[in-house]
Chain A
Amino acid sequence: MTDAPASAVAHSALAAAVRRWRARLFGGVLNSLLTLLVLYLLARTLPGLVEWALLKASFAAPDDRVCQAAGGACWAFIGDWFRFILFGRFPYAEQWRPALVVLIFAALLLASFARRLPARALALTWVAGLCAVLVLMGGGVFGLTPVETDRWNGLPLALILAVGGLGGGFPLALLLAFGRRSSLPAVRLLSIAYIEVARGVPFIAWLFLGLIVLPLFLPQGFDIAKLWRAEVTFILFIAAYLAEVVRGGLQAIPRGQYEAADALGLGYVQRLRFIILPQALSLTIPAQVNTFIGAFKDTVLISIIGLFDPLQDTNTALNDPAWRMAYIEGYVFIAALYFVFCYLMSLYSRRLERRLAPGRG
């Protein structure tokens, strides 16, 4: 083998690869049939899709009739309207502000995912980042023109709702999860009642209720913007789901862990903070991310109380007489936008699980 020519080595490597793939794709009758079926479906759909999305697509066109004449996708609509889809009715000249806000969120999420910063620095970064977000969106200081919350539309709105919902929902979820396991019957019953009622009613119903009911708890003449009513409702709703996820994790911790902590003299709070919570939370990462993804997608429901999320922005843009027919392209764009965010979350969760794996024993 040592004096075999290089081409022979390459040839045998190629043969090995072919063998491996043949075994993967055509190992067994059922496997072969499935492979053929998939190939057939791809052959039927892929060429048409490529033709529509790329070859015959119009990337620059004055209106949808021109696109139709070309016979392909009308990406020109997105080009014309993407700023409205992403930022809605935020004053056009000021749209660098929501754009910056999206970047800040991306940076904050990346900083958390990288897990390089120590916890305290990360928390401070988040506080600073969120303050910057509020200042950029609302304006009124540092010479920024004030913009009322009704014009905080599109992607920044969805991100504010989702991140705020999770950030506010998590501590509440922890309280509920421990409340549900409390030895005090009143605390336990209250937690159970809260969780069951919050989960048992559709989110849309809560949005309407929140809109009407929340102001009743506020002092006379004190108005709270629709956006913040939706945010509070969102927090209260997500907390119920997360509480059950966390409770599942708590139940999976063996009694021996509590006893070892007690025997070492750790107090209740220390036991929770160093022993129980880290394990319960890392055990339930997949379920948590599942809840997060669901919550992020649920933000599109806020259009029902008149807030403009990216989907609602798209629908508004489609009212433009020039682009009435471009709805498929609009919805594909929205789908891709949400998919990218959700897929990133899911990637992160898989990485996190793998990183925490050596600790399991």
Chain B
Amino acid sequence: MPEVVVSIGPQHPALKEPVNFKIVADGEKIVRLELDLSYNHRGIEKAAEQRNFIRVLPLLERVCGICSHSHATVFSKGIEEIMGLEIPPRAQYIRTIIAELERMHSHLLWLGVAAHVIGFNTLFMWTWRDREAVQDTLEEMSGNRVHYGMNEIGGVRRDLTPAQVEAALERLPALEERIKKYVEMVNSEETMLIRFRDVGKMSREEALKYGAVGPTARASGVDYDVRRDDPYLAYAEVPWNVITDTHGDVYGRTRVRVGELWESTQIVRYCLENLPAGPIRVDAPKNAPKGEILSRYEAPRGELAHFIRTNGTDKVERVDIRTPTLANWTSVAVCLVNQNIADIPVIVAAIDPCLSCTSRMTVVNRVDKEGR
């Protein structure tokens, strides 16, 4: 049978974000996938060079609405390292709490979306309802539901009051209860097992070869997590486990994410209970000395890296952002080959794609295309 090209997007009922897929299909089977990710390119990296460290953090937060704290933290972490600042432990703990709450809201959001694409809308509604508890906590702590604005170079901007800590701790048991239920559901719910098992399989070798990161890689048995392997914030002091799985399919990725949800609740609980006293920030100098750094961070979707070069002024000379979704797209293109067309949404959703952060990068691709 001749191959057919199916073009989807950028605006399509099944897509939440602007992306263009060209799927080359032979009957029901996918032969190849071509992607155009550049719709949301905004030019943040360029803009970051023109703003000083105070103004650049809100901009970097808005790289992505879901992992906003990740981008701000990884950047301030890098700059602080260049400046040689020692961040007070209380600030480290507060950053960790927000980071893990963010991971919880992101994974709950993902679980809902994954359930939605297989038509299991009940779970979609459940997870998003439970996510509101996390959002409430975040709002109490930071004043905003999505962009928290907690970071500044040298520490955090807002302290946690005892009342906030108490309110957060009060919400945790109910969440833990629900997350236990999700762990159970993922392993026993027939609807999910049928649609997730053996779909989009990727072996450990493939995951390493194509540079998959985060839960996508860990589901294929790659035991790697920046939080453990290159500890930052308070992760070295908190007891927690890296979740891996050997299934390598969408089922495995779901298990990893649900497992991480549980770990996140435990990290948040530990940090809240053992919050050290002391100041929440140190005074940072206005200018950063000349230097280069690759700052790494485990965002909800995987390893996020900011390459930062400073030149002795109060602005960066270059910041290059490598987001986890960009690293994972290649693995999607591999997973999709020989799968059914009907499984595209599940497999794509399984890496938890986030296009607003990925799109910025693809200007490079556009140059390539012109050169071709």
**Chain B binds chain A:** no
